[in-house]
Structure 1
Amino acid sequence: MTSSTHGDGGDRDIVKCLPAECLAHIITFTSPSDACRSSMVSRSFQSIADSDYVWKSFLPSDHEDILSGSESWPELSAKELYLHLCHNPVILTNQTMSFALERQSGKKCYMVGARGLEIVWGNTPAYWIWTCLPESRFGEVAELQYVWWFDIKGRIESRMLSPATNYAAYFVFQFSRERRGFSDRAIDLRVQLEKSGEEGAESKCVIIDPPDGVPKPYQERGDGWLEIEIGEFFNDIGVDDTLLCSLMETDGSFFKAGLIVEGLEFRPKITM
């Protein structure tokens, strides 16, 4: 590209060659990152790259239906809405699930909060208590007092997720000060489609809280929580199934305590 194509002078030549509607349509075949870069070409090109026509193409086609289940908020442009959903998960009206977008691709991300999970003895205060934490996106999280059997399951319908997308499921949690039992036994982590049963299931055993000097299986999220990847799955086009994730340790030899559960998150697995 020669120097004459930089700045507003070169851009006017481009706009003269192609109508704004055509340029906007071309940008929709790129990516949100490319659209942002295009908006920096010039002031006149910015109005095209930032248009609702472009950014509505990056939003999920059913985003209005999804957001109808959330609290009302100020009207935003399509680009403002996209960026807001990338950085601010929206709590849906049942208060047990949040929705967000993956920044690079615009694919759907969901977290099923602790209240939406099946926690064995979760409603027995001697074993689990429900509490509020300022760093949680949900109104309540589950704090483990003690159990001998650790058994948590979470489900999400595959049709809710973006099709033709490789996803990973993550267990989002914290340790409390009085934790114990998670360095003695490995937890069985499993992801599977319920209709398929064991076929195609992915499972692994992980010691959640290994001793000092042993690599930790979790990552810090930057929002005050830790996460462990439970497993990956490909959400194929046309598949109508229920994705089941489970965390289980039922040996019963050691009691477990001191884990705080925020939820299970499902987000696209991005390869760099």
Structure 2
Amino acid sequence: MGVSFSLLIPPISATPPPCPGIVDLPENCVASVMTYLDPPEICKLSMLNRNFRIAGYADCIWESKLPTNYELIIERLFENFDENLCKRDVFALLCRPILLDDGSKKVWLDKRTGRVCLSISSKGLAITGVDDRRYWSRIETAESRFKSVAYLQQIWWFEVDGEVDFPFPVGSYSVFFRLQVGRSSKRFGRRICNCEHVHGWDKNPVRFQLSTSDGQQATKQCYLKEPGKWMYHHVGDFVSSGSEVSMKVIFSMAQIDCTHTKGGLCVDSVLICPREFMQMSKRF
């Protein structure tokens, strides 16, 4: 009796079967989830296991992270482009700063958002009197994205102009001049600021101007302050509403009151980035 009754009771397993977890999700489910993540998060998840790694290379995921006009941007940036690259590799390639116009400009995608950013060096700007060593000099520095800046010692007529023609994806963009009052250097391993030539910037404000090929305009004025600190001075904003054509953006800064001289200013570059990137010191 006891033996026959014991046959009705299933044996107790020493180790219960494992419950399915996130690593057991099929590739198509993983890919669907990844479309809602930003690129760094996708790359982290791709390291979990083989299914996640395969899903992390799906073109449908990475095409949604690329600008809508990425093919036009590639055409603008590259003479010879490998069309066999998967979309993930295309995204990774565009996230690296790419030189443009003889190295005077750099273009890249923000790794988190896939938005276009563009920087123009001081060598790509039209600076009044920049070739006259009595007024200006070129300084090599690791503090610049382009490894050099234009340094103003003293001048009466201060004016810097620039322009860029680029197929900006649809969206709002801001333009900034990256400037520093004073000349920074290192002494005994410590960063110091030389303010020997700094003068004239407290007399009158600098005027910043912006215009686009479709008629948008902006004007701002501000005094240049805080010696020894790189500052992003906001010129203005513009909106790109058609990503299938290039937009020309023209910008300038000037302080042309000839009643006094001004000097001691480092001109590094101009930055064009998505409008929502307002925390310059954290992102650039």
TM-score (norm 1): 0.73
For the 8 Å contact 2:200–2:263, the answer to whether it is kept is: yes
Listed as ranges, the gaps of 5+ residues in structure 1 are: 212-217
Tell me which residue corresponds to 2:262: 256
Query: Identity, % of aligned pairs?
Result: 25
Partner of 2:65: 58
Partner of 1:104: 112
Whether the aligned pair in 2 keeps the contact of 1:69 and 1:92 (CA below 8 Å) is no
CA 1:97/1:127 → structure 2, altered by over 3 Å: closer, same or farther?
Answer: same
Which residue in 2 is equivalent to 1:189?
208
RMSD, aligned CA? 3.5
Specify the SS of the correspondent of 1:58.
Answer: coil
Q: CA deviation at 1:114?
A: 0.8
Rounded Cα–Cα distance in structure 2 between residues aligned with 1:48 and 1:57: 17
Q: What secondary structure, in the 3-state scheme, does the structure 1 residue paired with 2:261 have? A: coil
Alpha-carbon spacing, 1:194–1:127, altered in 2? closer, same or farther (3 Å): farther
Q: Which residue of 2 aligns with 1:148?
A: 156
Other-structure match for 1:228? 233
Distance 2:232 2:200 in 1: 18
Whole-angstrom CA distance in 2 between matches of 1:245 and 1:93: 17
Aligned mates of 1:139, 1:8 — CA distance in 2 = 45
Quote the Cα distance in structure 1 between the aligned partners of 2:94 and 2:245. 26
Question: Which secondary structure does the structure 2 equivalent of 1:180 belong to?
Answer: coil
Moved over 6 A (4+): none
**How many matched pairs?**
241
User: Structure 1 CA distance, aligned partners of 2:52 and 2:101?
Assistant: 36
Q: Tell me, yes or no, if the aligned pair for 2:30 and 2:52 is still in contact at 8 Å.
A: no
In the TM superposition, residue 26 of structure 1 has moved relative to its aligned partner by: 7.1
The answer to whether the 8 A contact 2:166-2:248 is kept is: yes
Matched residue SS, 1:47: helix
Higher helix proportion (structure 1 or 2): 1
Structure with max Cα Rg: 2
Ranges in structure 2 where 5+ consecutive residues have no aligned partner: 1-18, 184-193, 279-284
Deviation at 1:65, TM superposition (A): 3.6
Are 2:22 and 1:7 equivalent residues in the alignment? yes
